[in-house]
Amino acid sequence: MDTTLQDPLVGQVLDGRYRVDARIAVGGMATVYRALDTRLDRVLALKVMHPALAADVSFVERFIREAKSVARLAHPNVVQVFDQGTDGSYVYLAMEYVAGCTLRDVLRERGALQPRAALDILEPVLAALGAAHRAGFVHRDMKPENVLIGDDGRVKVADFGLVRAVDTVTNTTGAVLGTVSYLAPEQIEHGTADPRVDVYACGVVLYEMLSGDKPHSGDSPAQVLYQHLHADVPAPSAAVPGLAAVLDGLVATATARDPELRPADAVALLGQVLEARGGLTAGELDAVPPKALAADHDNADDRTSVIPRSLSIPRTLPVNEDGEAYAVHGADAGLDRTSRFESPPPLPPRRRGAGPRRGVLAIVAALLLVLGVGAGVWYINSGQFTKVPPVLSKTEAQATDRLEAAGLDVGKVEHAYSDTVKRGTVVSTDPGIGERIRKNDSVTLTISDGPETVKVADLEGLRLDKAKARLKADGLAAGMVTREFSDEVSKGSVIRTEPKAGTERHAGSAIAIVVSRGSRVEVPDVTGSSVEDAREKLEDKGLKVEVATERVTSEFDKGQVAEQSPGEGKAVAEGDTVTLKISKGPEMVEVPDVVGDNVDDARQELEDAGFEVDEDHGFLGLFGGDTVKSQSVDAGDKAPKGSTITIEVR
């Protein structure tokens, strides 16, 4: 079921295509939403990476690369990947949406399953993983949360987000990626992962389905990891007496701590599962386990996470006074391991008459499943759920009869306008038509009140906030607001609407509003004026004046207006503000000594200092000498930058 809370993504459209409708689940790496592909008009699941991981460029690059690889993995028991992309800070996968529940939901509600149901779930899971293994991929995060059971009974494996090509998985020196309850020993100790880590996880899942609980538990992830390294997965018959020995053997061979003793991949394990099923009687397959207590915890250790190597590989755990192990960190975590791997018990001997031919048939059947013969477990959910029947365009009474016939109640009855659905008939339901719902739950009906149109009111002269409120009260929405100069309408009031007043529009339509900027005013030039004169001149034009605290150097005398914004000639509205910057006088620069210099050199030196230069050649004009005899400002004195220095040349 959807678990939508306040979520900033719900209601948004990602990448201009995917409308996020509801949040389905939150994991350690990503959040999954139900969304609508507006381009193809189909419902799908949108997996959006958590922002902390999305900020890691290398992780995102790997995520995208692996998504492209998994998209090529076509199998009826694998959740299909449709698309991958980014939208701003969001990195997402668009995937097949499976209406149903997860194996975790089933185990939480039912506890231990009958062997037949457990094998019916395990076989399509192994078929999906077998297809992945034969294509060169490892899932690395198999767990009940990633096994989806559709309303049609189809079993699908989800969340291939951690997969990697087999030949690229060698060693992870920094961290272990996965879920602690299902990690194989070699993942924990060495960071290595090949198809046998998925085999190990499937063995743990099989134990959990048969017994109703995980094989290893502890007060911390480190304690669970320690048990994976040093303790065999117990036989499920120890928790559920009466289970067939062959089931114990399947669990034992799949969860062997030494990976060399496990089946090489999911295809090999699937062959053993099919062979084992063939040797079980109907009574052994349908043995009813005692009702296991539903786990009442938040499944924190079931989340996919990144576990620092220093935390995840305690070789031995010290024991307290009560004999209970506890996790250690730092130097003590590196103590040599004192226990050794023990071989798991082999599969029990086949029943009499189960010769080599049965084993060959099992392998053939396994390959057929891997090649795409799907399997379902429809009876897992039978009796608990139903679907909302089709009641659209039915009257309220007719819809109520249909819902009650399906074992559902009518909850709230709401009303909405509709241009296409006849007044008095059902527009929509919540949950929607065909959606999965528990029996005896209630369905909200929305009844059509027929089409609705609204006349656009005359808003001229109203202040903008009041105009928006009037539109909302009339069932319309305020659209784009633009502003124009107007001599007739006061500033901030409505000049007109688009469409114009009196036009009929459907309820909810957006109405554009044109608002007055006031009378048009051309800004006069006040630079060089005193502040008082500038203020008077601007206020006479109907403008407001603001004097900036910053003082600037300029050609104008200290205290005069040096700059104005907007500048001279700019068109503004009456009541707008003009900002003035006041001069602190020109910048004073020391005059260099150029007496006795060549006239060209003297000019260059003065201009470099920031002065204008005027030459005085006397009555001889340009036919005199070329040496500077005097300068109008004595050397060493200061003069305003940009002012003119006259040099006498003789």
For the chain, what is the radius of gyration of the CA atoms?
40
Q: Kindly report, residue by residue over 90-137, the tens digit of the pLDDT.
A: 999 999 998 888 999 899 988 999 999 999 999 999 999 999 999 888
Phi first, then psi: give them for residue 465, nearest 5 degrees: -65, -40
Domains in the chain and their CATH numbers? 101-298+342-379 (1.10.510.10), 388-448 (3.30.10.20), 453-518 (3.30.10.20), 521-583 (3.30.10.20), 588-649 (3.30.10.20)
Residue 538's pLDDT band (cuts 50, 70, 90): very high
Q: Please state, for a pLDDT cut of 90, what percent of the chain lies above it.
A: 44
Look at residue 325 and tell me whether its pLDDT is greater than 50. Answer: no
Confidence class of residue 623 from pLDDT cuts 50, 70 and 90? low
Burial 183-212 (b: 16+ CB within 10 A, else e): bbbbbbbebbbbbbbbbbbbbbbbbbbbbb
pLDDT at 600 over 60: yes
Q: Higher pLDDT residue, 261 or 382?
A: 261
| Residue-level pLDDT at 384 | 61
| 168-211 per-position pLDDT tens digit | 333 333 344 457 889 999 988 888 889 999 999 999 999 999 99
- Give residue 620's pLDDT: 61
Write down the pLDDT at residue 470.
93
Task: Give Cα 78 distance to the centre of its chain.
Answer: 22
Supply the pLDDT for residue 337: 27
- What value does the mean pLDDT take over residues 621-636? 82
Choice between 292 and 608, residue whose per-residue pLDDT is larger: 608
Residue with the bigger pLDDT between 215 and 348: it is: 215
pLDDT at site 365: 58
**pLDDT higher than threshold 50 for residue 309:** no
What is the band of 219 on the pLDDT scale with cuts at 50, 70, 90? confident
363 pLDDT tier (thresholds 50, 70, 90): low
Per-residue pLDDT tens digits for 379-408: 565 556 788 999 988 999 999 999 999 889
Average pLDDT estimate for 141-165: 80
* Phi then psi dihedrals of residue 360, to 5 deg: -65, -45
| Pairwise pLDDT comparison (299 vs 11), residue with the higher score | 11
Least confident of 246-250, 287-291, 317-321: 317-321
| Residue whose C-alpha is closest to residue 216's, from 181, 265, 248, 187 | 181
Does the bond joining 499 to the residue before it have cis omega, within 30 degrees of 0?
A: yes
pLDDT grade, residue 536 (50/70/90)? very high
Q: What is the pLDDT of residue 368?
A: 56
CA dist., res. 203 & res. 377, Å (int): 19
* Assessment of whether the complete model's pTM goes beyond 0.75: no
pLDDT tens string 8-45: 899 899 999 999 999 988 877 789 999 999 999 899 99
More confident residue, 2 or 247: 247
508: region left, alpha or beta (phi > 0 left; psi from -120 to 50 alpha) = left
Give the lowest-confidence range in 188-202, 240-254, 317-331, 372-386: 317-331
Closest CA to 303 of 106, 159, 123: 159
Residue 372 has pLDDT above 70, yes or no: no
Which is the catalytic residue, given 141, 198, 265, 576? 141
362 — pLDDT class (breaks 50, 70, 90) = low
Could you tell me the CA-to-CA distances from 269 to 75, 203, 206, 363, 367 in Å, in that order?
18, 9, 12, 9, 11
Please give the residue that has the higher pLDDT: either 273 or 293: 273
Segment among 17-21, 241-245, 450-454, 500-504 with least mean pLDDT: 450-454
Q: Specify whether 600 is catalytic.
A: no
Closest C-alpha among 453, 281, 257 to residue 344: 257
The answer to which of 177-186, 529-538, 539-548 has the lowest mean pLDDT is 177-186
Residue 305 pLDDT exceeds 50: no
Least confident of 278-282, 348-352, 589-593, 627-631: 348-352
What value does the mean pLDDT take over residues 336-361? Answer: 41
Mean pLDDT value across residues 48-59: 84
Give the pLDDT score at 366.
Answer: 59
Report the alpha-carbon distance of residue 329 to residue 155 in Å, rounded: 41
Strand-strand pairing, 477-485 and 90-96: unpaired
**487: Cβ–Cβ under 8 A, 6 or more apart, which residues?**
519, 520
| pLDDT at position 379 | 59
pLDDT at 338: 25
